[in-house]
Structure formats: structure tokens, C-alpha cells
Amino acid sequence: MKAVKIISSLAVILSLLFSMAGCTAGNKSNTGSTASSTSQAAVKKPEQLYLYMDVLIEEKDGAAQAWAEFEKQTGIKLKVVKPEHAQYSEKLSTMFMSNDIPDVVEVWSTDYMKFASQKAFAPLKKYIQNSPSLSKVDAGIINALEYNGEIYGVQKELGNGSMTYIRKDWLDRLKINIPKTYDEFYNMLIAFRDNDPDGSGKKDTIPYTLSLKNPDNALYMTDLLIDARFDFYKKDGKWVDGFSEDAMLKAFERMAKLYQEKLLEPEIFTLSTADTRTKFYTGNTGCFAYWAGKWADTINTEIKKNLKDASVVPMPALQGGYYINRVAPAYAIPAKPASGDPEAVFKYFFDYIFDSGKGTMW
């Protein structure tokens, strides 16, 4: 499995609204569909499913009602255990050494390979191939979790990633277009530093901020990386170490230049992502790297609370560059699940929550 993989499609599961969209993998023959239906029909429905999860709806937000609705629609009771988030990875590891094994677990992408190599999870590839819903999902999403030719989990959602947000009102005031190339981006930062884009009459703006405090540094550095890669990736059919390539050296040179010229936030190595967001909201920062998706609307809403005339626009990936979607946490079935049959767990949980019907909305 690639440590970071660019993927497309969407899945939001359980209390976060279960859904996944993808491209049809291909037409199945009538014979294959009949065989699949016969196999699925022979699977016994479990009376209860035991879920061990990290990110779920909270009690205060209606968790009990959600689990009750699942039982109403499926006839299956849910036992749901949700450890503290900060302890989840450790708790999941120790759980496998106990006799209290669930039917479905959530596993972080950073832990997935460890468990897959230990064969702690049931293989799912044949179930996915015969699934009326998951067989239609983009193969890139499914295969991102491949280990030695087998699949041991299904990504629960789009992994998401970071992109760059720019003060559009600053661009308009300085008559600058949204950058398309790194040179245009660099020149924009100079203008943000030198041309008083906030109209304060002082040279006190921060052109660009990001957080390099977290392990996912590559997510926030794509404007500087351009074609460089932090991780191993396939190049001409072979795996190469992106960090050792000349492109990475050039990326660090770009970063050093921005830092030396005071175009880049001086505290990037100590700021958390939340800190960069707060700085951006205060109004003296021109652009910053932060999460994509619904955050675009949130950022625009929040900055207007401090600066009613401010507006924010997302910047497309620079020419020759890219943005990253992470491999998301996955749902997996322990090799020996509580209810006894991995195929039954797959049919009555995975197929249901990814059915693009009732299972997507409870």
C-alpha cells in the first residue's frame, strides 16, 4: 500500500452519512450475477454486530437513535465501542491480544499494513468482487489497501488532503490573478509582503503560512514540492524514493528562499494546523495551506466574522504540481469476528452501508 495515494471518489460512513460513489468496473455476466446471488443468499444473518470504531457520532448528537435505526432497518443489533481518540491505535493493538474480538474495526492507514501483514484481518477481495455496491467503486480506491495481492479493508471515506486558500480581496486590491505557476505564486507572495494588501499602512503582513509540525508534512507543502515527492512512488513502473531525487532538493531550495525572504511564516515548524487557521482568521496572512472540502465554506464564513469585507478563494494545484488525498482510515473484519462468519459481516454491514440506498442515510 502506498503511504500516500492520490485517489478520487467519496465515501462517508455510519453516523457521518454512509455513501460511496465510483465508476462501474465492468459488466458482469448473467451467470456470474446468479452465482453471486446464490452465495450471498446462503449467508446467515447475524443477530448482533460488534463495532470497534474511532470516529463516530457522539451520544449528544443522537448516537443511540442512529444505532436503533440500523436495527430497525436490518433486524441486527449493534454493540458499539468507541475508545478515546488519542488512545485508539494503542487500544486496537491490545484488543487483538484479548478474547474480546469485534466484528468490524476501524483501522488507521498508518496501522493498516502492520495488521494486514499479521493477517489479523479477514481477506475481503472475493467479497468485494461479488458485492453489488463495492464492485462498482473505482479500483484505485479499493486497491489502495492491497497487500500481497489481497484486500483486508475498505476505506470509509475520501481521505481528504490540504490545498491553498488565498485572500481574494487582497488579490483584487493588488490586481493580481490567482497564480497558475510557481513563479506567479512567488511574485504574489512578494506583492503581499511589500504592497500593503490589507491597507494598514504598515509592512506587517505574513504572505504565506503552513504547518510543518505534523507527520503529514507533504500534505501542506505541495505548493513548494511541485513535482517532488516525500514518499516512495511508482515511476516508469518501478518504485523509487522520491525524497532522494533532485526534485526534492529543488523543493527545499524554494522553501529556503521563501523563508529567507520573509515570504513564509517564520514559525512553521511549531505551529499546528489549527494555529495557522487562527492566524489566517485574524487577517494579516495572505494565504495558507489547510484542509479541502467543506473547509472552503467554513474558512470564508469564519474570516468574515473578523473582517466583513474579506473573501477567500482556493488555489488550484500549480502547473506541474499536485494536491494529495490521503488514504483514509478503513473498516476491516477481524480474521475471527465475534459473530463467527466474515462473509456474513461483509454482507450485512459493508454491503448495507455502501448500498447507495437506505444504508446511506440512516
Do 212 and 269 meet the contact criterion of CB atoms below 8 Å apart? Answer: yes
Separation between Cα atoms, residue 67 and residue 72, nearest integer Å: 9
Domains of the chain with bracketed CATH:
10-159+327-360 (3.40.190.10), 162-315 (3.40.190.10)
- What's the pLDDT at 213? 85
Instruction: Decide the pairing of beta strands 238-241 and 232-235.
Output: antiparallel
Cα three-residue angle 85-1-161, rounded to 5 degrees:
55
- What's the pLDDT at 33? 42
Separation between Cα atoms, residue 297 and residue 55, nearest integer Å: 22
- What's the pLDDT at 359? 60
Separation between Cα atoms, residue 232 and residue 239, nearest integer Å: 6
C-alpha cell at 103: 466484528
- What's the pLDDT at 124? 98
First to last CA, the chain: 31
Half-sphere exposure of 133 (CA within 13 A, CB side): 21
Compute how many other C-beta atoms are within 10 angstroms of the C-beta atom of residue 9.
Answer: 17
- What's the pLDDT at 302? 95
Separation between Cα atoms, residue 327 and residue 320, nearest integer Å: 22
Do 49 and 345 meet the contact criterion of CB atoms below 8 Å apart? Answer: yes
- What's the pLDDT at 55? 84
- What's the pLDDT at 356? 60
- What's the pLDDT at 18? 34
- What's the pLDDT at 216? 67
Is-above-0.75 flag for pTM? no
Do 299 and 311 meet the contact criterion of CB atoms below 8 Å apart? Answer: no
- What's the pLDDT at 58? 76
**Residue ranges of the chain with per-residue pLDDT less than 70:** 1-41, 215-216, 356-362
- What's the pLDDT at 10? 28
Phi, psi of 187 (to 5 degrees): -65, -35
- What's the pLDDT at 234? 85
- What's the pLDDT at 259? 95
Separation between Cα atoms, residue 213 and residue 93, nearest integer Å: 26
Give 173's contacts (C-beta < 8 A, 6+ positions apart). 197, 199
Separation between Cα atoms, residue 294 and residue 26, nearest integer Å: 32
- What's the pLDDT at 290? 93
- What's the pLDDT at 131? 94
